[in-house]
Amino acid sequence: MGTPDFSVPSLETIAAEGYELIGVVTQPDRPRGRGKRLLPSPVKKWAIEKGIDIYQPVKARDEEFITQIKRLAPDLIVTAAYGQILPKNILDIPPLGCINVHASLLPKYRGASPIQQAIMDGESKTGITIMYMDEGMDTGDIILQMETLIHPDENAGDLHDRLAALGAKALSESLELFTVGKPEGIPQIQEDATYCQKIDKDMGRINWDMDIDRIRNNVRALTPWPGAYTYIGSMRLKVWEAGQVEYSDLKDITPGQIVYADEEHGLVISGSDGLIRLSKVQAPGKRAMDDVEFLRGNRLKVNTVLDGGDKV
């Protein structure tokens, strides 16, 4: 049971290692792109190519769908970013239980956006947890965990791809445990739990009153989606990459103020406690480009304050 790109490596592992995959459950087709055409999820595309039976309930708790799962009589249900919470009457169907591939080191970062949240919070490491599912939100017993470092310049898209591959590896090792019986899980320390905030488009707007480390981490965490952005006058400027800059002789700088906008320094903006360079940006209708290239076609006045504000 899975939906986005993150799920596919785990799905491929199940099939490649010889387990009997009796069905794939994914979210209903959604309108995507400029034409808003109904398009299948990455998991559905994979299942179509492999000729695997596909189920797409609007709600996993629908009685008709639960009856279908009972007829399938799976030994084990594996979920990876499925997108719906499973009710108890599904969790109780497989004798070996339901397990989940979760992209954090639980109990830290329960919820739907652990990859983005770990980067946003400046974490130095993250990982994959394979866990038994229960009725809570990522509260079940842990079967296996694998760690990985978060690279200093890595964005959420890069980390997502690495964790998807690591998730498949962790799932492979976990499924091997099931071949000799149901492995015993380790209860989570509930007092250590933290939760992710839901990611939405409004979070991409840069708040220049934040410290520069937080600004930089937010840019990384929200790239490629929903994307970090700010406004220069009426122009909405998307920020793809940002790096810290140190100029200790500058004083009385207003957060969001353009400090440098030239070929020598690039596009340098002030945060609340220092300076940050918007090293890769994208103007409306243009491709993403280095800040120096952007400045060649867009003359910006030093001391202009970016409002990051309420424009549409």
Q: Which residues on adjacent β-strands are paired with residue 300? A: none
DSSP assignments along 24-92, one per residue: EE-PPPEEETTTTEEE--HHHHHHHHHT--EE--SSTT-HHHHHHHHHH--S-EEEBS-SSPPPHHHHT
Identify the DSSP state of 203: G
Q: In the chain, what are the domain boundaries?
A: 5-192, 201-297
Residue 249 has pLDDT above 70, yes or no: no
Sign (positive/negative) of CA torsion 41, 57, 143, 105?
A: positive
Confidence band for 33, pLDDT divided at 50, 70 and 90: confident
Task: Name the one residue in this structure whose structure tokens are 């939906």.
Answer: 3
Residues in contact with 59: Cβ distance below 8 Å, sequence separation at least 6, in sequence order: 65, 84
pLDDT tens-digit readout, 72-85: 999 999 999 999 99
**Mean per-residue pLDDT for 147-166?**
97
Q: What is the dihedral of CA 132, 138, 139, 143, to 10 degrees?
A: 30
> CA-to-CA distance for 289 and 266, rounded, in angstroms?
12
According to CATH, the superfamily of the domain at 5-192 is Formyl transferase, N-terminal domain (3.40.50.170)
Nearest to 162 by CA among 127, 117, 122, 114: 127
pLDDT in the model for residue 93: 97
pLDDT in the model for residue 246: 64
pLDDT in the model for residue 226: 95
Residues in contact with 216: Cβ distance below 8 Å, sequence separation at least 6, in sequence order: 242, 243, 244, 276
pLDDT in the model for residue 19: 95
**Mean per-residue pLDDT for 167-181?**
96
Looking at the domain 201-297, which fold is it? Methionyl-tRNA Fmet Formyltransferase; Chain A, domain 2 (3.10.25)
pLDDT tens-digit readout, 88-126: 999 999 999 999 999 999 999 999 999 999 999 999 999
> CA-to-CA distance for 305 and 230, rounded, in angstroms?
11
> CA-to-CA distance for 283 and 238, rounded, in angstroms?
6
- Per the CB < 8 A criterion, the answer to whether 126 and 105 are in contact is yes
